[in-house]
Amino acid sequence: MDMVYNLDYITSASKNQCNAAVGFKWMLNQGLMAHHEEIVEFQRKGVSVIFLLRRNFLRRIVSLLANSYDKYAKQLNGTHKSHVPSTTEAEVLAKYKPWIKTTSLMAELKQTEETDAKAIEYFNNTRHIILYYEDLLKNRTKLNDVQEFLRLPYRDLQSVQVKIHIKPLSKQIENWKEVKDTLKGTPYQSFLLSN
């Protein structure tokens, strides 16, 4: 962690005044929740936290399963890619339709909901902002909110990444009818309709 805190001082970008903020991506399923006691250290070091969450947990499952599949299948010229810069590559990755295990689907959705809530609770006393992936895609001004939160001068930010799963979920899940029947009439039914 000391190396991360000092990245601003040890990178060539800082010597050339090319960076205004330094950060890293730490996903909730990568040990963050198991080490939440160390969050106090974040507070002492003045770290700001940006939560990038999904509103639609079912889409999250599709992304996770497709990414996991590609780690072994390596569909793009024998290379695994989680993010792609072209629509051609995105279309190749989007061809895979995961089979979702419906016997544990409700428990998995509930667990995701609880984990997100617990993470926000753990970081409650740390300077943070909560963003939703879907909101960023629909409203480009959300990036302005991030820059303001980080106290950065406004810049027109552009991504080179292309969204992979753009079809309705009914076209992206192999056992769609079974998933639909499992979620029908539950608190998670809205995930079936949401893009």
State residue 13's pLDDT score: 47
pLDDT tens-digit map of 13-37 = 444 555 566 677 778 877 777 877 7
- Please give the share of the chain, as a percent, with pLDDT higher than 90: 59
What's residue 4's pLDDT? 59
- pLDDT exceeds 80 at position 193: yes
2 has pLDDT over 70: no
The predicted pLDDT at position 143 comes to: 92
| DSSP string for the chain | -HHHHTHHHHSHHHHTT--S-------IIIIIGGGGGGHHHHHHHT--EEEEE-S-HHHHHHHHHHHHHHHHH-TBTTB--SSBSSHHHHHHHHT--PPP-TTTHHHHHHHHHHHHHHHHHHTTTS-EEEEEHHHHHH-TTHHHHHHHHTT----------B-S--S-GGGT-TTHHHHHHHHTTSTTGGGGT--
